[in-house]
Amino acid sequence: MEKTLEKNQFLFSYFEGFSNLSSQSRTALNNICSSVKIPKNKDLQAIGHTCRTIYFVKNGLCRVYYFKDGVDITESFAFENTLIARVESLFTGKPSKKGIQTLEDSEFIGIASQALFELYDDFPEVERLFRKIFELAYVDTVNRIESIQFHSAEERYKGLLENSPSILQRVPLKHIASYLGITQVSLSRIRAKI
Amino acid sequence: MEKTLEKNQFLFSYFEGFSNLSSQSRTALNNICSSVKIPKNKDLQAIGHTCRTIYFVKNGLCRVYYFKDGVDITESFAFENTLIARVESLFTGKPSKKGIQTLEDSEFIGIASQALFELYDDFPEVERLFRKIFELAYVDTVNRIESIQFHSAEERYKGLLENSPSILQRVPLKHIASYLGITQVSLSRIRAKI
DNA sequence: TCTATTATTTAACATTTGTAAAAGGAATCC
DNA sequence: GGATTCCTTTTACAAATGTTAAATAATAGA
């Protein structure tokens, strides 16, 4: 048991940034976690499936993506030490038209969402933890709207580099371009100008 | 008491769309609600203040707005029978650079946020209710990013008219334009073309 | 290593959107 | 009712971004 908790220690350190958990809650949470290793450029979650697992990125890197008129669009990136889920499916129970794909060999901790929601009944502090986690994720999303709508592509590119300095070394520019909402040609022009 | 609950009946009908509440929870919630009437074009919440109240729009209409480089930008609208709050302030405790302004004579039910968060300790079902409310609001926000980033201004305008057919009669076009992320001139061109 | 594939940049042109200024309409206030 | 203010459209031109295609550069596989 001690050993198992150790395996998920990074996840529980992440949780501690939000609130402290009783050992009962930690054990219960630990029991619904599983480890997943995925090589580079493979799907962690396929397009069309309903989101039934929340992932914590232990190491590596992935992106949420989908196809718009046949074009591959990156909705978001998830680096080490963050949670990733397709919330529009997780919270509605509907199939997601988005997938999650690794951009490096990666290791994840999967949290079974149905089991998690059942834990909420017995452990209010677990419900509270995830409430807080998703509240702050919601805030990030609200702030991103502002960034998309009222900053130029050049400003957004510079902002992305500031927030994720390693991204240029780890992510193809085509994904960065679609994440920024512009074409790869347009991103090339911006990079040439800077 | 009976009478007071009746006063907030629309709010509690709204809550029932998410989950059922015990009468104790309803009473506790009712005790932290207050009515607010604001005439047209006045601030319900001023720019710079920290969000300490979540509002339910009983009747009328308002918008969340802020200034970007001196230009008035509408972030969102809230019609009757919806909740409105500046979540980036509500969930972080930081002052908001956004304000809430009425676009018609309006009536609101204010829910004191600090008191609400304290209710969470005694009434897990209240915490759960608001968790669900904000989860779905989060989903809406994720979907809006997609709409902003990957639909043309014309598509977004048409989509807005579909979702809120009354908006043209109730909201000046300049606010609709900034909500769509375009200038008023550009919106005029789109309207002329359609 | 050679080849094939993928990633990135560049160029030319089209389209969309922005900016600034002017003018017409609508609403509001005394 | 007239003046004023605000709202909306139109025009002309500038800037940003999209589209298509071609040219390099980098990477991965046989």
What is the tens place of the pLDDT at every residue in B29-45?
A: 999 999 999 999 999 99
Strand C contacted by A184 CB (< 7 A)? yes
Nearest CA in chain B to A134: B135
Residue B132 CB closer than 7 angstroms to strand C?
Answer: no
Task: Among all protein residues, pick the one whose CA is nearest to the C1' atom of C7.
Answer: A172
As averages over each run of 10 residues, the pLDDT of chain A (194 residues) reads 71 96 96 94 94 96 92 94 97 96 95 98 97 98 90 94 94 96 96 90
> Does residue B1 carry a pLDDT above 70?
no
Is the CATH number 2.60.120.10 carried by domain A2-123?
yes
**B134 neighbourhood in chain A, CB within 8 Å:** 131, 134-135, 138
Say how many C-beta atoms besides its own lie within 10 A of residue B192's C-beta.
7
- Mean pLDDT to the nearest integer, B173-181: 95
**pLDDT value at residue A3:** 53
Round to whole Å and give the CA distance between A28 and A129: 14
Give B7's pLDDT tier (boundaries 50, 70, 90): confident
Residues of A with Cβ-Cβ distance to B19 under 8 angstroms:
none
Average pLDDT, chain B: 94
Of all protein residues, which has its CA closest to the C1' atom of D20? A185
Binary contact (B87, A124; C-beta < 8 A): no
- Residues in chain B within 8 Å Cβ distance of A144: 145
Mean pLDDT of B2-9: 71
pLDDT of residue B4: 59
Q: Which of A117, A123, A128, A141 is the best mutation test for B, with the most CBs of B within 10 A?
A: A141
> What average pLDDT score do residues B5-11 get?
85
If you average pLDDT over residues B44-65, what whole number do you get?
Answer: 96
User: How is residue A68 written in tokens?
Assistant: 């718009």
Token pair 């509690």: residue: B12
> What is the Cα–Cα distance from B151 to A124, expressed in whole angstroms?
40
Size of the A and B interface in Cβ pairs below 8 Å: 76
Residues of A in contact with B127 (CB under 8 A): 124, 127-128, 131
What share of chain B has pLDDT > 70, as a percent?
Answer: 97
Domains of chain A: which residue ranges?
2-123
Q: Is the pLDDT of residue B5 over 70?
A: no
B165 contacts chain A (CB < 8 A): no
Question: A71, A178 in Cβ contact below 8 A?
Answer: yes
pLDDT at residue B118 is higher than 70? yes
